[in-house]
Amino acid sequence: MSAFLDSQGLATLGTRESDPAWLTALRQEASAGVVESGLPTGKTEAWRYTSVRALGNQSVAAAKTTSGNEAVAWATELLGDDGTLKLFLVNGVPVGDFASVAGLSVSSLADTLKDAPDTLQGRLGKIAHSEFFAGINSALFEDGLVLRVNAKYQGLPIHIVHVADGNASYPRLLVEVEPNGNISIVETYLSKPGQDDVCTAVTEVHLADGARLEHLRVMEGGDGSTHLGTLGVLQDRNSTYTSRSVAMGGKLSRLEIEARMAGPGAECNLDGMYHAIGSEHVAHHTLITHADSHGASTEEYRGLIDDRAHAVFDGIIIVDQGTKGTSAHQQNHNLLLSDTATVNTKPHLEIDSDDLSASHGATVGSVNPDHLFFLRARGIDENHARSILTFSFVRSILDRIEVEAVKERLIARLLSRLPYGDDIAELAK
């Protein structure tokens, strides 16, 4: 079994005879890059606070499942009926058939590569970067999903459910929203309990002129799970992208978002909520590039860090030279709930244009004693008061989730992870 960064392992696994030439070149470039750079260390700026040393000996071989049905049944029960059109991937491989709906085309990545590889060229592997783990995914992915949505689609929100069932998986997703298309997509990353798995996921999103996407991405790993996600977004003129990242669970959960506002008048909103307990490590790295004029971006991440957990927020906003009328505002707020929790926050602006308004803000603190006192003075005991204030600190982010049943499930999950959370469930109603 080859280890994560064994060059031989990457090279052999990264070659597939059925690949079109452009993909072979892409995979070779990605694996060569990864072999050369090695695993990131604390000396790599983006990995200063997240150690992946433990992954050095992990196997790269994707877990094989003969049938994903059992995993699908498990996930279906966990998620319940949430009023979405669900698509399942087990270890990155689609399970089941996809119904065809007006305005929406869903196909497996492997099939598309076989049948119509040209439709993927110039997008697949070109929107997201291919450094480190994204590169490993690029070298190794075998299957995944391709979603195309056009302006005719008026159906249900799509819920893409990823289940990790085994050691390693490389889910790959390409979403194309065509001009003026409008859709809500939920991606939930789950892992079967009781396993030490590494999920290295890449999602690429292209929004054509006037397209709109609300994209909720949930990291909900088990105690032994590592999630290394990369999300690349390319926005054309007047498109609106809204990302909501929710991280609740997983030994290590890390998401890199890179949104490029390539056309004028684009809007990009990145929100996030994280709750880290035990010795969980959760990291969000976001990069918004205002490459054209009249773009508006907002970003708000709110986090709760308890026990010995460690949270990282690293948000970069770049405003390119020559752009006009940019608005870029970023916020990160953290609540430390224990004496052994750690947070690193690095809001970061790189501005090369003078026609803009930009700001960022970050706070770290504990539950406000005045607020605590106020609740206690109204007769609520301290533990419950603390729990209420903790919950309220992040709920505004969850409240923005469009898909009602998904929102309710995530709120319930947060409450179940909070001390005295069940007692204050009324509040969430």
Partner 1 sequence: MSSTEQIQDRLSQDYDAGFVTDIEQDFAPPGLSEDIIRFISAKKSEPEWLLEYRLKAYRLWTTMTEPKWAKVNVAPVDYQSISYYAAPKEGPKSLDEVDPEILETFEKLGIPLHERAALAGVAVDAVFDSVSVATTFKGKLSEMGVIFCSFSEAVEEHPELVKKYLGSVVPSTDNFYAALNAAVFTDGSFVYIPKGVRCPMELSTYFRINAANTGQFERTLIIADEGSHVSYLEGCTAPMRDENQLHAAVVELVAHKDAEIKYSTVQNWYPGNKDGVGGIYNFVTKRGLCEGDRAKISWTQVETGSSITWKYPSCILKGDHSVGEFFSVAISNNYQQADTGTKMIHLGKGTRSTIVSKGITAGHGQQTYRGQVRIGKNAENARNYTQCDSLLLGDRCGAHTIPYVEVKNRSSTLEHEATTSKIGEDQLFYCRQRGLSEEDAVNLIVNGFCKEVLKELPMEFAVEAQKLLEVSLEGAVG
Binding site for partner 1 (CB under 8 A): 45, 321-322, 334, 336-366
- Considering the complex, state which of residue 193 and residue 322 has its C-beta at the smaller distance from partner 1: 322
* 3-state SS class at 223: coil
* Assigned token pair, 280: 């969980």
CA R_g for the chain: 21
Kindly tell me which of 359 and 392 has the beta carbon lying closer to partner 1: 359
Would you put residue 420 in left (φ > 0), alpha (ψ -120 to 50) or beta? left
> What are the beta bridge partners of residue 162?
89, 189
Q: How far is the CB of 394 from partner 1 (least distance, A)?
A: 16
Residue 367 to residue 336: CA distance in whole angstroms: 8
**Smallest distance from partner 1 to CB 395, Å:** 20
> Burial letters for 81-91: b for 16+ Cβ neighbours within 10 Å, e otherwise?
ebebbbbbbbb
CB of 49 to partner 1, least distance (A): 8
**HSE of 246, CA atoms in CB hemisphere, 13 A:** 26
Strands of 18-134 (E only): list them. 85-90, 93-95, 104-108
* CA separation for the pair 244, 232 (Å, rounded): 14
Rounded to whole angstroms, the Cα distance separating 372 from 387 reads 10
Of 43 and 378, nearer to partner 1 (C-beta) is 43
Q: Give the residue among 310, 333, 306 at the shortest CA–CA distance from 396.
A: 333
Joined together, the tokens standing for residue 337 give 């709930």
Which burial class, exposed, middle or buried, applies to 364 when counting CB atoms under 10 A from its CB (0-12, 13-18, 19+)?
middle
* Residue closer to partner 1 (CB basis): 90 or 343: 343
Minimum separation from the CB atom of position 303 to partner 1 (A): 12
**Residue among 37 and 366 whose Cβ is closer to partner 1:** 366
Least distance CB 152 / partner 1 (angstroms): 41
Nearest distance, CB of residue 363 and partner 1, angstroms: 5
| Local structure of residue 71 (DSSP, 8 states) | H
Whole-angstrom Cα distance, residue 344 to residue 49?
Answer: 8
| Three-class DSSP category at 418 | coil
Q: 341 vs 410, which CB is nearer to partner 1?
A: 341
By the 8 A CB rule, do 232 and 204 touch?
yes
Residue with tokens 């280890």: 3
With respect to partner 1, which residue has the nearer C-beta, 39 or 319?
319
Nearer Cβ to partner 1, position 150 or 323? 323
Rounded to an integer, what distance in angstroms lies between the CA atom of residue 382 and that of residue 389?
A: 10
Question: Residue 135 CB, nearest distance to partner 1 (Å)?
Answer: 23
Closest distance between partner 1 and the C-beta of residue 351, in Å? Answer: 5
**In 3-state terms, what secondary structure has residue 118?**
helix
CB of 324 to partner 1, least distance (A): 9
* 5/343 with CB nearer partner 1: 343
